[in-house]
Structure 1
Amino acid sequence: MSDTTSGPAAAGPPEPPEPGDGTASGSAATWGEGLRFAFGTLTVFRVTVARWDREAARAGMLCAPVAGAAVGLCAAVASGLLYALGGGALLAAVAAVAVPAVLTRGLHLDGLADTADGLGSGRPADDALRIMKQSDIGPFGVVTLVLVLLAQVAALYELFGAGAGHGVLAAVVAAVAARSALTLASRSGVPAARPGGLGAAVAGAVPVRSAALAVGVTVAACTAAGAALGPYGAVRYGPAVLVALGAAELLLRHCRRRLGGVTGDVFGALAETAATAALLALAVA
């Protein structure tokens, strides 16, 4: 998710409205519309996003973990096939990291780099936000990207080394955890750092109880998925999601203090932070 585009899946989608504006705002968005919003803004899958109002944003961000599951399954299939064909744990790990980047056109990684540059600059909020909007990547962004990608590949390498099942499931769980962090970051009470852009369109759109329920369902689903690998898997994968969300929450609080709220770039940074934390938690466990 980034403020520089309104949706990676469409060639030229309409700009998202200012918070509070939108079409058909008098009616609640359906789950189908929420899924289209989630897939249209968080993936490259070709969908038609007809509504950009706050109701659609609320439903869309509640559906974000579903979009994450789709991305994670694609990563799991690609990496699992490569591993099965004799590619080895390292190549499978690289594939599991590369596929989500491709399926988001690198927007979350771009957001991570921009956020690192803004926060690392040590400038006041307005100057930091201006740095984040620039198209180039500074030294903080480059170092952060390298370290995060290395950490993800290293963690997945360890997990694939323990067996293909652990590697492919970790790829799915990390992607789901990353989008669950976006659901939490869209909860009521979290302000936008600046007007305009997709970050402002979804900031504060999700009621706190709805966000908590979505997280609970996600943790339960990941726990159940981990149970397929045995009792030990059941007690690893659910808590890994909680670790991921905790790490993302720490970054969110820091961004609120430093920047005054969230932006599309911050959402991207939160997603990558959560994915990395989930993988590290699973690898260490």
Structure 2
Amino acid sequence: MNVAVVGRSLRLSIGMLTALRVPIVLRVTPGVATGALLLAPLAVLPLGVLVGVVVWAGGRLDLPALGVAFAALAVLAVGSRALHLDGLSDVADGLTSSYDRERSLAVMKSGTAGPAGVAALVLVLGAQAAGLMWFVGLGGEVRSAVVAGAAVCASRAALWITACSLVPPAREDGLGVTFTRRVPVTVAALGWIGLAALAVLVDPVRGPVSVAVAGLVVAALTAHTVRRFGGVTGDVFGAGIELALAVLLLGLAGA
């Protein structure tokens, strides 16, 4: 992968995963799409920094931990245009609306949030906030803020699983055609092993275990949606990211 392709891939990843303005990538080749997925954790580094700053500042000012946690999640939602939260809601509604594949996909595409979608948002955001509260409660410790921000970046590695070469698209149009089946299984596995190795720096036991559980949760979600929908959609990508973030924040809290 040459420098030009890496540059286009990074711009595409930033444009998809954040609200930051970058030059538009007009031609998305398979190589650029694959690169965008692999660079996802790096592309959201600005969002990770923002979350870390909110956590650090809230702790230093001795603000209520729950309020700071939700403020950090609000910053993250605005910074990502809430696309992943929308995906989580749509997937929950699709999985609970019907056992018929076409009806489930139609519900997901409608864009409205049903009871299951709302419940999923409340539960997953609540879990994320609970994890962030612990980091805030350390009173502005820089290390805890860095770990919280790193968890945001690492959660985007969920795309390595949902877009791996074994996973088909649920539809023949839309995001699935461009970004599914792009990440080789070996690359996805090695990437998550690398994240687990880095997590040892946080805690020799809880770090890699948290990463492993996050990966298993995303893999389970992916397998289930493939059984129910015949493949994955962009909504599944977002749901995987939000679930991975919840597991990482809860698992690393107290480490």
Q: TM-score, normalised by structure 1?
A: 0.81
8 A contact 1:34–1:63 mirrored in 2: yes
Partners of 1:146 and 1:187 in 2: how far apart?
A: 29
8 A contact 2:49–2:149 mirrored in 1: yes
Deviates more, 1:27-36 or 1:69-78: 27-36
In structure 2, list runs of 5 or more residues that go unmatched.
none
Using the TM superposition, give the Cα deviation of residue 281 of structure 1 relative to its aligned residue in structure 2, in angstroms.
1.7
Q: Deviations over 1:160-198 (max 9, x none)?
A: 324544642342233123211112211112100002222
The residue aligned with 1:71 is 47
8 A contact 2:59–2:137 mirrored in 1: no
Q: Choose the corresponding residue for 1:56, options 22, 25, 32.
A: 32
Deviates more, 1:79-88 or 1:59-68: 79-88
Q: Choose the corresponding residue for 2:173, options 191, 196, 204.
A: 196
Partners of 2:223 and 2:19 in 1: how far apart?
A: 29
SS in 2 for 1:189: coil
The residue aligned with 1:266 is 236
Matching of residue 242 in structure 1 with residue 218 in structure 2:
no
Q: TM-score, normalised by structure 2?
A: 0.90
Q: Deviations over 1:34-84 (max 9, x none)?
A: 211211111111112323121111011010111243321211112212221
SS in 2 for 1:30: helix
Q: Deviations over 1:185-234 (max 9, x none)?
A: 1111210000222232110011222222322333333433x2xxxxxx34
Q: 1:211 to 1:29 in 2, by over 3 A?
A: farther
Matching of residue 176 in structure 1 with residue 153 in structure 2:
yes
**One-letter amino acid of the structure 1 residue matched with residue 125 of structure 2:** L
Q: 1:169 to 1:122 in 2, by over 3 A?
A: farther
8 A contact 1:193–1:262 mirrored in 2: yes
In structure 1, list runs of 5 or more residues that go unmatched.
1-26, 227-232
Q: Choose the corresponding residue for 2:97, options 121, 133, 140.
A: 121
Q: 1:241 to 1:156 in 2, by over 3 A?
A: same
Partners of 1:95 and 1:169 in 2: how far apart?
A: 17
Taking only aligned residues, the RMSD between alpha carbons, in angstroms, comes to: 2.2
8 A contact 1:45–1:103 mirrored in 2: yes
Using the TM superposition, give the Cα deviation of residue 258 of structure 1 relative to its aligned residue in structure 2, in angstroms.
0.5
Partners of 1:46 and 1:218 in 2: how far apart?
A: 28
8 A contact 1:200–1:262 mirrored in 2: no
8 A contact 1:61–1:182 mirrored in 2: yes
